[in-house]
Homo-oligomer: A and B are copies of this chain.
Amino acid sequence: MKYSNLVGKTRLDAPSDADSVNARLLTQAGFVEKLAAGIYNYLPMGKKVLDKVCDIIRDEMNKVDGQELFMPILHPVSIWETTGRIKTMDDVLYKTKGAGDKDFVLGPSHEETVTPLLRDNVNSYKDLPLSVYQLATKFRDEPRAKSGVLRGREFGMKDMYSFHLTEEDLDEYYERVSEAYFNVFKRCGLKSHIIEASGGAFSDKFSHEFSVETPAGEDTIIVCEKCNTAQNLEIAEGKIVGPDEKEEEERALEMVEAKRGFSVEENAKLHSVPESKILKSVVYEVEEVGLLGVAIRGDLNVSEVKLENYLKKQLRPASPELLKKHGLVQGFISPVNMPEESKIPYIADHSITNIKNFVTGANQPEMDYVNVNLGRDFQIDDFTDLVEVKSGFECNKCSSPLTEMKAIEVGNIFKLGSRYTDAFKFKLTGKDGTLKTVYMGCYGIGTTRLVGTVVEASHDENGIIWPKSVAPYMVHLLTIGNDDNVNKHADEIYNSLKEQGIEILFDDRDESPGVKLKDADLIGIPLRLVVSKRTLSENSVEWKVRAESDSKNIRISDLDTEIQDFLSN
């Protein structure tokens, strides 16, 4: 392709509303253009990248015996009523009306179509297990579309659904798909982690997320590099590190004046102690329970998801108004000598058991206790793991330090059990003549999101750095100096590589070297070749790999071999 003919040119400036690296670079380099919030056009180069991502996914899904099909976008509302998701997903569903006043949902996911489709197309228990998938467009009316193509309202997705006669068979297939997912992300040049999904108090789904490390990720994950495992921050487990003061002598409890702000930092500073010596209290409003205090070491945070999962109740931090109403003094709450009239139940994280002579609030404005000791000055009946793990904690398995990382969720897999098959009465008569439950799994990868993730994970200050596997072209050829001999050689190289079936973009514009080199970096094609008078004086071209900083000269006679080498590595 000659750059002069290409639809989708680079732009000098990023669009003013680009809210993320992927939106900025993909738009500026001519891969996508926003039509509306969360709704993008894919220009020819963007379409090529998306196709390559989809081809990788297709290949891996075929390897796990997935059969590709294609389901409609318009879903009769009745099937969404059958599963009840018309209510539970109401806030993100696009709806439309058709002829005869019929109501439709624009599919955000296809459990509602695939389950009856398979029910009507599976004749015998012998047909199971089986797995079908599609690469299609989904709709989700996110309240706020953001992060470029990472969180779209109209977006590409691979969704696969598997059907099994036993839970064991589903478990086994679930593992096979996990492996396939790792392969997909690896082939896209990404380092992915599988993570047990965190859910709130009411989640009884069994599911995993696949996350990719990127500096600008929306999620935080906790990684053990040694075990090669990752956990979702919200439910991550790990060994707390910090001082062990069990042997420290308990000093006499004292109440002191404390003209300070509410933060742990200010508290530690005022009393000249490390933050770990602050006994922190966080008060929650828990459904059906009321107020609940949680005690934790001052330098650590409470994981609300862990707390919800422990209590099996929904909760939220108590508002200052609610604290006041209950007679609790914001910033000075502690389980030590609480006045009877404002007493609340307390639970604690294990982290407070190693510390002696805590500093904490005295349940009065601007008064603190110092030298507070568990057992002597306050009691807690209920200890559990409520801590939000952070970098420095140790892996429960190998004791290596854990690392906190920003990540983007690119895929997820669910064991749905019989939720949907029961709803659509999809059962099969087994060998023994009785009706058997059909177990179902579902497996998603956001395809357009994956394109954005590659950009988030692989770019520098000058532009995108496409991995070869998903690059729109393999070679970016350009000339320096509008010279007949230079142009002639560039044309020859272009035609020769094209004939060899190598995907090549030839910047044939009569532009300054600065503009062409800058655009090449921005677009991010893996290999850049420059032809100039200087290189031709040595019968060579300049060879620069986008992901590397150095360039070198290659003799034109060696070019074909070198490129074949480059492409096959």
Contact = CB atoms under 8 A, between A and B. Distances in A.
Interface of A: 4-9, 30, 33, 35-37, 39-44, 46-47, 50, 65, 67-76, 94-99, 102, 104, 106, 113, 117-118, 120-123, 126-127, 130, 132, 137, 139, 141-145, 153-154
A94 B94 contact: no
Contacts of A142: 99
Of the candidates A9, A39, A97, A153, the one having the most CB atoms from chain B within 10 angstroms of its own CB is A39
Contact of A5 (B69, B123, B130): B130
Contacts of A123: 9
B153 A40 contact: no
B36 A67 contact: no
B41 A69 contact: yes
A5 B98 contact: no
22 contacts: A5-B130, A6-B67, A7-B69, A7-B121, A8-B121, A9-B121, A30-B121, A33-B121, A36-B76, A39-B72, A39-B74, A41-B72, A43-B117, A44-B67, A50-B70, A72-B154, A73-B73, A73-B154, A74-B154, A94-B97, A94-B98, A99-B153
A426 to B, nearest CB: 13
Copies of chain A in the complex = 2
| List of 9 A-B pairs having minimum Cβ-Cβ separation, nearest first | A42-B70, A44-B67, A96-B96, A94-B96, A39-B72, A36-B76, A47-B70, A7-B67, A98-B141
Nearest to A155: B72
A118 to B, nearest CB: 7
A33 B96 contact: no
Contacts of A9: 121, 123
A41 B71 contact: yes
Contacts of A67: 6-7, 44
A121 B68 contact: no
A69 B104 CA distance: 27
A120 B33 contact: yes
A106 B106 CA distance: 10
B43 A121 contact: yes
A137 B122 CA distance: 27
A117 B69 contact: no
Nearest to A10: B123
A143 B101 CA distance: 11
A47 B76 contact: no
The residue in A7, A42, A73, A154 that gathers the most chain B C-beta atoms within 10 A of its C-beta is: A7
Contacts of A46: 69-70
Q: Which of A47, A71, A98 has the most CB of B within 10 A?
A: A98
B137 A73 contact: yes
Nearest to A153: B98
Nearest to A94: B96
A146 to B, nearest CB: 12
Contacts of A76: 35-36
Given A40-B72, A73-B139, 18 more contacts: A8-B69, A30-B121, A33-B117, A35-B72, A35-B117, A37-B99, A39-B72, A41-B71, A41-B113, A42-B69, A42-B70, A46-B70, A47-B68, A73-B73, A73-B137, A96-B106, A98-B153, A99-B142
Nearest to A139: B74
